[in-house]
Amino acid sequence: MTYRFITYELLDDATIARITLNRPDKRNAQNRGMLVELDQAFCTAEADDGVRVVILAGAGHDFSAGHDLGSAEHRAERNPGPDQHPAYQSRGGTLAGSERRYHQEWHYYLESTRRWRKLRKVTVAQVQGNVISAGLMLMWACDLVVAAESAAFADLVGVRLGMAGVEYFAHPWEFGPRKAKELLLTGGTLSAAEARQIGMVNTVVPDAELTESTLALARRIAALPTATSLFVKDSVNQAVDAMGFGASLDASFSIHQLNHAYWAEISGGKTHVGTAEFGLDVWAPPGDRKDSSVAATDEKRS
């Protein structure tokens, strides 16, 4: 299969699959084409009985700056025309208003991330640089995380869009309740070292060693019987689900949709997210407040 927004490669006699987000000039901001291709790649790895471990990486300086809401590619694939992505013509894409948004965000943000979490392979996220908002969703869907020392973690949708976190709301489980509130309310950033201290990432390595360290971990897991790996994964995931994780995702997604409806009402239908007009911050990656060109939010007003 040919991909435009990601790469897919098999390593170590095809026992390890590596999927790489491949929009480095956009800080790997996630447009719809990327998300559809990512799902296809995960499904390809899952269907391949020879693949034992899947690595998810990001090309360039950053793992992912979140959802792409402003690039030319995003506008072309979203709006009616010859370049519109088919995903905007199905799964609620032809409906109107809140109903369309509810269907589209459920399919492409919440449920896809939940499906990747339950993939029948062990998954390892390889992260560096900015891991922002929806970038967290991709990382959190993975079973293990290897972070470079440069990695910085944040969800800026609270201070930038007036939203209570991204659609896959794992924040209280990954950050802890109080830290989740702090980061969402302030737009604060968690360093790689801090992320390791709270257990959100497994290990932190120098940037130059990130690729090899991640591959070494994947090889160690690939050496296990596949049944053992899957039983361990499911045992932990089901224990977390029994604590209420799945139900909390559904409840928070409903609040997320209410949050959209609030902004639509307050703005008189002009936007379904908050903007600077309502006293919110201007978006830019942590440590790079002069650059707001990536994952811009203008298109989410429509």
Q: Would the pLDDT of 300 be above 80?
A: no
pLDDT, residue 208, reads: 98
Please compute the mean of the pLDDT values over residues 191-208 and round it to a whole number. Answer: 98
**Short-list 31, 63, 17, CA closest to 201:** 63
Q: State the pTM of this model.
A: 0.93
Q: Would the pLDDT of 90 be above 70?
A: yes
Tokens of 20: 């790489």
Residue 256 neighbours by CB under 8 Å, 6+ apart: 105, 163, 164, 165, 166, 167, 169
Alpha-carbon span 42 to 114, nearest angstrom: 12
Q: What is the pLDDT of residues 15-57, one digit of tens each?
A: 999 999 999 999 999 999 999 999 999 999 999 999 999 999 9
Please compute the mean of the pLDDT values over residues 84-93 and round it to a whole number. Answer: 92
Alpha-carbon span 127 to 149, nearest angstrom: 9
Alpha-carbon span 154 to 142, nearest angstrom: 17
Q: Do the beta carbons of residue 92 and residue 99 sit within 8 Å?
A: yes
Per-residue pLDDT band at 284 (split at 50, 70, 90): low
The superfamily (CATH) of domain 6-301 is 2-enoyl-CoA Hydratase; Chain A, domain 1 (3.90.226.10)
Average pLDDT over the chain, rounded to an integer: 93
Please compute the mean of the pLDDT values over residues 76-82 and round it to a whole number. Answer: 91
Please compute the mean of the pLDDT values over residues 83-100 and round it to a whole number. Answer: 93
pLDDT, residue 292, reads: 35
